[in-house]
Amino acid sequence: MVPEPDPLLLTVAAAFAVLNGVNDGGTLLTLSLKVGGVRLLTALGVLAAFVALAPALLGTAVASTLAGRLVAFDGPQGQRAVLLAVVAAVLVSSVLARRGLPTSLTLALVGGLTGAGLGAGLAVSWPVVGGVLATAAVAPMLGGALAFGLSRLALRVRAPAGSARFLARAHRLSLLVQALAYGANDGQKMLAVAAVGAGLATDPVPRDPVLLVAAVLLFALGAALGLRRYSRTVGGVIPVRPPNAVIGQVAASVAVLASAGLGAPVSMTQAVSGGLVGTGVSEGHRRVRWQVALQIGTAWVVTLPLALLVGLLVAAGAAAIAGAA
């Protein structure tokens, strides 16, 4: 049975899109500002536009994984479970961030969806959950390995005449690739929550133009707000110079696009962190602030299981209250 649109879940989906802009957009654009060559409003417009364009161009496999392949979110019960999953994800992310652990809303949402599905008695696909976990672990390492290789290759290549201009052009290209990767993968968590809230079919998630445009506008609003704070999550893992930022962006984008091809949601910001570690190590291990890298790694380990537990407890408690009533 296809459920009717849920106004409360749609409202939460709108707030979730703004929060994604603050968390993801603000962080990614802050890194771009370290390179220069692109105006801030241009970078914001490109990143926001690809939130809509990438699903239309490359499909919605990641959104479909979140909205229906991890857990069968069927009917009004499924909508309530998604609502509780979003609450659990935001709660866990906020608590960990306040404790200095830079976490991922994407991993938290995967854990929250799985836990809420269990608590609500819905069917959970453990092979899909396992595949998502494996991909989420591999993507930052792949980004790091690619960045290491690209950095070593760059050291062997003589800088062309007008290298500053060349770097600015490379940054424009890396920004486009990063925006495409974000829209094809990490950014689709907004579309997944909105699709369930709107009562649309979730396998696959439709490329509904209204949802895509709404996601763009709300994400852009959040990203503009997120720029008001400096992000230490990504930029703090190494002292970032313009070549590091460009190489880190490109390497992370390749890893995230590959994950999108598998329909596996991964964190763009964490993949960029892995890319920055890779390019930093290529210049000597002392370039990496290993304490910050350890904090990021700890967040990867604890975010999903903690969100799963919170989602499970919240959904089970809500089910018990509904049964008693």
What pTM was computed for the model?
0.91
Supply the pLDDT for residue 230: 44
Sequence-ordered list of residues with C-beta below 8 angstroms from that of 150, at least 6 positions apart, any chain: 247, 250, 251, 279
217: pLDDT strictly greater than 90: yes
Model confidence pLDDT, tens digit, residues 123-182:
999 999 999 999 998 999 999 999 999 998 887 766 555 567 777 788 888 889 999 999
Percent of the chain past pLDDT 70, that is, above it, reads 92
Question: What is the average pLDDT across 38-57?
Answer: 88
- Closest C-alpha among 231, 293, 296 to residue 27: 231
Q: Rounded CA gap, 15 and 222, in Å?
A: 9
Locate the domains of the chain by residue range: 7-320
What are the tokens at 178? 């990063």
